Structure 1
Amino acid sequence: MSKKVLNFKTLLAILLVAAIFPWNHANAEIAKNTFDPFEKSIDEVANALSSKQITSEELVEYYLKRIEAFDKQGPAINSIITINNQALETAKALDTERKSKGPRGKLHGIPFVVKDNFDVVGMPTTAGSVALKDAYPTKNSFTVQKLIDAGAIVIAKTNMSELAASYGRLGYSSMGGLTLNPYNLNRDASGSSSGSAAAVAANFAVFGLGTDTSGSVRGPANVTGLVGIRPTLGLTSRSGVVPSSLSLDVTGPLARSVTDASSVLTAMAGTDKEDKATKFAKNHVQDYANALDVSSLKHARIGVATDFFGDNAEVDAITNQAIAKMKSMGTAVVPVTFSEQTKYLWTPILGPIGDAEFKRQFEKYLSTLPFGAPKTLQKVIDISESPEVLNSATPVNPARLEGLKTALAQADTLYSKEYKNIINKEIPVTREEITKIMKDNKLDALVFPTMSCPASNRFDKEDPTFVCTAYDTYTASYVASTTGFPEVTVPAGTVEAGVPVGISFLGTVYSEQKLLDLAYSFEQATKARTVPVNTPKLTQ
């Protein structure tokens, strides 16, 4: 073969390669710009990051644009208290780390929101109280640090019921005002983890963290179409979190799917030497998402807690349809009832515990804050009653203020016979009752409507379409709170007013995997989650 022919063929090959590579590069750029994080799961976002369809920096920018468009403007969901001004820099650093070392795991570079009672360095921990607006912690809470170590990015801190108690104003605080439900602006987002729930539902982040004392993860998840997990008491740490009542408090995830919530629970759970309740957590944590069993309902046996029906026809209908669906999948269903006390645990157990524990535990937390922050409950009350706060656009809920005064007056009840009797006798009796019901009936879980009524009217605006005959729509939540048992809520349907309704799966200690399997099996069979109408996809 002549040299001329060889050169011609070589030139032709070069031209072909030159023609192909720009085309591939251009298409790579197109592919990069076509990934839309809207409603995407952790795995989908992680895959997009790994395949260079998007960067963490671009992800943060995307969510910040959504927060700007929908949280303070437009529908004004008002779920965010503080934006993390370091989020973009953190994202850039994680992008660089990904290039040089690879990802730390599936959460590497993924933004999340944090309820504003978790400590995050560089941001105040207000717990919704304007009295704590300058309370900057010196280290991250244990659970937040675990997620940061996994590569996740705190993009913002979220609004909540003031100091994690609603007192009739669900999702309202003097620091953040009122959070609205992105599905229906006339309804609330429950409480007290309202901000995290509304933010995740509105696609302001991939997932969120909340706390649950008597329903504060489950209620907000229920009314915003999310999966919420109240883990076994002691599976996740509470250190670095403003306490409400440590006999009842847990931290847990809020996410748009069972898989996502399971992934976050795996990342945040574990033993923390600063929280004695978590001593045995390390023996129980597992990769919940990896082990999910879509066929679990086929072989399951569930107990339907009939005591928690009857307060709203639409909720009952959706729950009954969910149970019928499970039966059609092969699930065995057994109706169960509780003792008179267990039907309503607030008055005999939860209320007195909260009143007894709050002051001492809250002040112990305040003692960890730097100079300048309030150190006593009395000081928080004084600031809350100051003319500056009382005359502001968002004064402290008067009923919440009275609750703080009650806690101040009842602090000594921590040593009372009544309190000791509740802790040492009444709580164990309730645990035994639930355990016996499950054992006698060979149940995998108890099932019930997470809340007996849909999302309620926001406190400042009447919605005549709201119907509820319940004295307390959160009654079912108190069983897990009292026993320390885990509960998972998953979307089951939507009422005529447009707000979601969820069902709960409750089990005994450390049965998270079984509950998540059941919830996942139900979720995949029903696909009941819808997208909020008030926070749609942004047009480019």
Structure 2
Amino acid sequence: MFRKMVASKVLLTIFFVTITMPFQSVYAEETEFNPFEKSIDELYLALNSHKITSEQLVEYYLKRIEAYDKNGPAINSIISINDEALEIAKELDAERESKGPRSKLHGIPIVVKDNFDVSGMQTTAGSVTLKGNYASQDAFTIKKLKEAGAIILAKTNMSEFAASFGRLGYSSLGGLTLNPYNLKRDASGSSSGTAAAVAANFAVFGLGTDTSGSIRGPANVTGLVGIRPTLGLTSRSGVIPSSLSLDTTGPIARTVSDAAIALSIMAGVDQNDYATLAAKNHIVKDYSSSLDKNSLQTARIGVATDFFGGNAEVDAVIDKAIGKMSRMGSEIVPVTFSETTKYLWTPILGPVGDAEFKVQLEKYLNRLDGNFPRTLQEIISISESEEVVNSKTPVNPARIGGYKTALEQAPYKSSAEYMKKITIEIPNVRKEIERIMEQNELDAIVFPTMSCPASPRFDQEDPSYVCEAYDTYAAGYVASATGFPEVTVPAGTTSDEMPVGISFFGLAYSEQKLLNLAYAFEQSTNARTLPSNTPELK
């Protein structure tokens, strides 16, 4: 269907594709406008001035996906294509002409992690057990984006059921997603497909989910901006859950402005997601309209010194970034956390996630139409079946082990240990962060998003990789446990051109302040680079 649609369009006379030789790229033959690397604002102006149409944009990205996702470097970020994308684009082009654009996202193609429900498309969470699960309605955030005029171009691969268990970005339905910056490295997890697709210019931006780092990690290792919003600022209804005490939804984009525009549309109160009710008086209508490139001139920035030491080159990039902020006028204040807060996986995130996964996943499964698993035990049985085990992409054995661990948990609402973590331990971590922020009068705390660069893909060795950290994701657990927001933005690269990101972390509902600081840093450094190790993507 996809090939027939592409072949039938007159855009073949406008866009020229060369895929027969290495190091060649898909590009716009028109000299007036090339969609490559263009921001939402640039595309909005181009669409309004008739330099390009949404139909042509969709064609452009589909051709890049065809050339580079399964062919060429074979990034393998896309799990399914929206067969209706071209028709939707045509309709939105006509609407633009007759009524004008709905928003800046009118006719903008985006990609979505495959745990979001999108009406008429499969929602699988990367699992072969949910193959053929076509959603009958949109997730809340998808509905808001569609109402703003965004086009869901494709669903992206992910770590199976949003947990990597040593195989970052691998699923039994989608296989392994590669890092566009180095095909020997992974794109982190679990929102690996979205990050890799946006970095490879397969869409303007994408959606991810973040439980314990699944937006921030992938954005960090692919040179992108990622936002983990305050828990409840964006809805999770219509998204396959991992742990609703920790889960968030958010954007991954190439610029802070693009991410802010996307967050503005996504944020909102959803009666089907209890966590959003508290956000009602904290939502900013447009996070992008007041981005301040001078915000670092008067900022007090805390530096979380506990999360350095994993990799000398990462430390050097972040030290340089902090030095830049200081020269811009920021006052730099070193801060340290308690022994518990330095590593929150074992005391909080792991146990809470294990306790909630089974019950919350089964609640989602039992809403599905058709012959699909209704229980975690059924998922385990299918995953361990001879057919799946002997397939080209069997379920990660460690992922099955994680299922079994979750299966053994007592009902979490009746567990005294679980309730202690939710009612005492998590609030204590929040109070610690609030105390550090208030006593030091900080606007944000910064740290390397990950203490090491992208790790080697699970199926290949890479002796060039150096990481001394016990857990390269440890810094990100603070936002996950507290529910506070974090924005990662490119800070530079290592000597082998692997991206390094810096995180801006703050108190609940401080997204505007964090985005301002990240924007000021981005605009003053222009630290993001294209994937030079995979030149055909440039």
Instruction: Confirm or deny a common fold (TM above 0.5).
Output: yes
Partner residue, 2:439: 440
Partner residue, 2:323: 324
How far 1:375 sits from its partner (Å)? 1.2
Listed one character per residue, the Cα deviations across residues 410-446 of structure 1 (whole Å, up to 9, x for unaligned) are 1434421110000000000000000000000000000
Equivalent residues of 1:199, 1:205 under 8 A apart: yes
Partner of 2:469, secondary structure, is coil
Partner residue, 1:100: 98
How far 1:536 sits from its partner (Å)? 5.0
Partner residue, 1:19: none
Distance in 1 (CA, whole Å) between partners of 2:166 and 2:53 is: 42
Distance in 2 (CA, whole Å) between partners of 1:301 and 1:184 is: 36
Partner residue, 1:362: 361
> How do 1:246-395 residues align onto structure 2 when only pairs under 5 Å count?
246-286=244-284, 287-395=286-394
Q: 1:185 aligns with which of 183, 186, 191?
A: 183
How far 1:378 sits from its partner (Å)? 1.0
Residue 82, structure 1, aligned to residue 80, structure 2: yes
Residue 129, structure 1, aligned to residue 117, structure 2: no
How far 1:280 sits from its partner (Å)? 3.1
Partner amino acid, structure 1, of 2:388:
V
- Judging changes above 3 Å, is the alpha-carbon distance between structure 1 residues 33 and 151 closer, same or farther for their aligned structure 2 residues? farther
Partner amino acid, structure 1, of 2:66:
E
Partner of 1:34, secondary structure, is coil
How far 1:368 sits from its partner (Å)? 1.5
Partner of 1:447, secondary structure, is strand
* Coordinate RMSD, CA, aligned: 1.3
Partner residue, 1:503: 502
- Judging changes above 3 Å, is the alpha-carbon distance between structure 1 residues 459 and 172 closer, same or farther for their aligned structure 2 residues? same
Distance in 2 (CA, whole Å) between partners of 1:529 and 1:241 is: 30
Partner of 2:491, secondary structure, is strand
Partner residue, 1:408: 407
Equivalent residues of 1:184, 1:497 under 8 A apart: no
How far 1:253 sits from its partner (Å)? 0.2
Partner of 1:338, secondary structure, is coil
Partner amino acid, structure 2, of 1:185:
L
Partner residue, 1:4: none
Distance in 2 (CA, whole Å) between partners of 1:373 and 1:128 is: 14
Partner of 1:389, secondary structure, is helix
Partner amino acid, structure 1, of 2:370:
F
Partner of 2:411, secondary structure, is helix
Equivalent residues of 1:202, 1:535 under 8 A apart: no
Equivalent residues of 2:200, 2:537 under 8 A apart: no
TM-score, structure 2 as length reference: 0.93
Partner of 1:244, secondary structure, is coil
Distance in 2 (CA, whole Å) between partners of 1:537 and 1:270 is: 39
Partner residue, 2:51: 53
Equivalent residues of 1:357, 1:411 under 8 A apart: no
Moved more, 31-40 or 317-326: 31-40
Distance in 2 (CA, whole Å) between partners of 1:277 and 1:202 is: 34
Equivalent residues of 2:437, 2:444 under 8 A apart: yes
Listed one character per residue, the Cα deviations across residues 191-229 of structure 1 (whole Å, up to 9, x for unaligned) are 000000000000000000000000000000000000000
Listed one character per residue, the Cα deviations across residues 302-336 of structure 1 (whole Å, up to 9, x for unaligned) are 11000000010000000000000000000000000
How far 1:533 sits from its partner (Å)? 2.8
Partner residue, 2:61: 63
- Bigger Rg over Cα: 1
Q: What number of residue pairs does the alignment pair up?
A: 510
Partner of 1:280, secondary structure, is helix
Equivalent residues of 1:304, 1:447 under 8 A apart: yes
Residue 484, structure 1, aligned to residue 483, structure 2: yes
Q: 2:162 aligns with which of 132, 157, 164?
A: 164
Distance in 2 (CA, whole Å) between partners of 1:222 and 1:338 is: 23
Listed one character per residue, the Cα deviations across residues 235-278 of structure 1 (whole Å, up to 9, x for unaligned) are 00000000000000000000000000000000111000100110
> How do 1:416-455 residues align onto structure 2 when only pairs under 5 Å count?
416-455=415-454
Partner amino acid, structure 1, of 2:311:
N
Partner of 2:250, secondary structure, is strand
Partner of 2:474, secondary structure, is coil
Unmatched 5+ stretches in structure 2: 1-27
Partner residue, 1:142: 140
Moved more, 277-286 or 151-160: 277-286
Distance in 2 (CA, whole Å) between partners of 1:461 and 1:185 is: 10
Distance in 2 (CA, whole Å) between partners of 1:381 and 1:51 is: 53
How far 1:185 sits from its partner (Å)? 0.4
Distance in 2 (CA, whole Å) between partners of 1:356 and 1:449 is: 29
Residue 232, structure 1, aligned to residue 230, structure 2: yes
How far 1:285 sits from its partner (Å)? 1.9
Partner amino acid, structure 2, of 1:392:
S
How far 1:498 sits from its partner (Å)? 1.8
Q: % of aligned pairs identical?
A: 71
Equivalent residues of 2:178, 2:187 under 8 A apart: yes
Partner residue, 1:472: 471
- Structure 1 residue ranges (4+ consecutive) displaced by more than 6 angstroms after TM superposition: none
Partner residue, 1:23: none
Partner of 1:48, secondary structure, is helix
TM-score, structure 1 as length reference: 0.93
Partner residue, 2:516: 517
Moved more, 481-490 or 97-106: 97-106
How far 1:99 sits from its partner (Å)? 1.0
Distance in 1 (CA, whole Å) between partners of 2:270 and 2:334 is: 39
Listed one character per residue, the Cα deviations across residues 41-90 of structure 1 (whole Å, up to 9, x for unaligned) are 00001111000000000000000000011100000000000000010010
How far 1:534 sits from its partner (Å)? 5.5
Unmatched 5+ stretches in structure 1: 1-29
Partner of 1:521, secondary structure, is helix
How far 1:282 sits from its partner (Å)? 3.4
